[in-house]
Chain A
Amino acid sequence: MESNHLIELENITKEYSGDKALDNINLYIRNGEFLTLLGPSGCGKTTMLRIIAGFTMPSEGKVYMDDKEVTHVPPYKRRVNTVFQKYALFMHLNVFDNVAFGLKLKKMSKKEITNRVENILELVNLKGYEKRWVEQLSGGQQQRVAIARALVNDPEVLLLDEPLSALDKKLRKGMQVELKRMQQAVGITFIYVTHDQEEALTMSDTIVVMNEGKIQQIGTPADIYNEPKNQFVAQFIGESNIIEGIMLQDYMVSFKGNVYECVDKGFERNELVDLVIRPEDVDIVPLGSAPLSGVITNVIFMGVHYAITVNCNEFSLMVHTTDLVPVGEHVSVQILPDAIHVMKKPKEVSEFEIVMDEEKE
């Protein structure tokens, strides 16, 4: 076991009356990283967080922290603190006493407590709010108190359970940047649970994509976005066109009757594969200047770009572009080699299709 593995999950399974919320999870978390557990609701990400916090016991498997097994250690003996989804601030205490709650239990001196609370409130930009009651604070401020209350205890790991989900979009964006800043300032490990892929991509060092109790992919945000391992990840992270194709040979793939150059290799000859083509990697060009052609059936203004649907005979392609092309126009679509990402076909095709259908709702 390497020393920078702060937390290790070994063969973790959690069953709720026969249903597997987590299915044989193996994961290590490095010291000081910002790790995000990302997935749709019910994928097991919150269960995983609760197992690390100690609120939930796994049905099988072991949890290690600092190379010591902590599977059955109660939460109050773990050097882990949690920021809860609905903050769970103590309404009967003011901001200072909320933040000082953990320190007072450790029987620290008054001076030391005051010192640490002041410092942490400064970190979360809440200086001067000590005497306020929780209910007098806005959602964003309550959020900061919750973070301060957890961080002030000097945990080795801070667990955050969808902490931004109750905030409005603008506030959420601001808090994302701030959370990252706080994490870098205190230099401890953050484990962050979210279903929002944008949040995950913005803040994380490592993203763990989960679905149906299983880890789908672990990687940096860029890895996950550019090299999705399977259909589920491709579909869940960003928008994608997923098209079935045939890998003719290394660096050459055919789909919908055309042959394209690509940057992937290592597949069998004529293997049936899935292709991910990100809408922003596709270009609309004048009719005839690329092999694939179609008619524009839908244009939606998205602010920065237009989301354009091109109907190419038997399938539609989503294209994101800043150029407005009117509906009904016949165009060609240019797909360059590095726009095509080839994935192995999943073995259980039907399972993924079900998930994708749910996602579209």
Chain B
Amino acid sequence: MNSFISSYWGMYAVQMLLHSVIASVLIDCAFVAWDLRSPRVKQRFRFMVIFLPVVSFPMFQLLFPGRGDVYFRLGSLLDSNRWLFLEVWGGVPVLKVLLVIPAITAAVFVLQELVPIVISQLEQMREAGETVDDEVDGPMARKVAGAMAGLPFNENCVEIFDDEDLVLFSNTGFNPRIYVSTGLIKSFSTDHLQAAFAHEIGHIQRSRKPTLILAYLIRTLMFYNPVAMVEFRKLAQEEEKVCDDIAIALTGKPEAVVEAVNMLRPAPEEFIPAKHRRSFREIVSAFEQYSLDVLLKSRVQRIGQSLRSEPDWGVPYFITMTLIIGINYYVV
């Protein structure tokens, strides 16, 4: 392990993690300093946390080979070796203790991000070309057609499937489609349905500029990095907010978007574990529902605030990037 840590790839792995921590802190500072709230702008900043740590180490080493030697470490802001080889609890290096964090992060990445995407892709390939529900009753089809009226999307590309739960999602790509459950059509008014469809159209439109996919691909290189995982999830959450803004722009009905998002929030009993709920799976499920509720609530609150035009972000972006690169240069 000692040999690996002091090798090129070991230093790369360690510095990628440290640099993403510092980048994450600095972009949060930038949000506060310049009062940046626009989800589009925040996404651009968060993308730095995913992208810069991957390229910074090879670039630094290429431009300044002396940065890899021990003398540079003597004058650095933070020398990771000092912490990694610090012995605690009877001679165990901190490195061995800290290895738990990337190990858990890698496991979470595989189980929560990689496997579900592979399964979803396989399902999409299997279901391609199939009509989800051929026999849609008239009133339901008319309601969908009414909601789609005026939206820039072909209503024939909306697939209805038989499910009493409130489910709505879209697939992007060359043949984009919106999938909606019968339960959601029944529960939502035409205005709510229109807002929900407009949100999905936002996802489809934005998939033509696949920043998230690029971020995901870069982020997979840092599969062990908890900061990259958190930042990628925040990036995805900002995407939902961007699509809310698109939905408002397409429908001109912010109240309908707020109400539609509110209707998707889980009921409190779903995330407050009752006394009889003791199993691990139930606790995990309650936690997931709670997280979903927090996310949806934050979207509602943001839409509720007055919408402002996108602020001037160019100079703050440049300054933040310069600070990240400048500080990370001295973190080895």
A and B bound? no
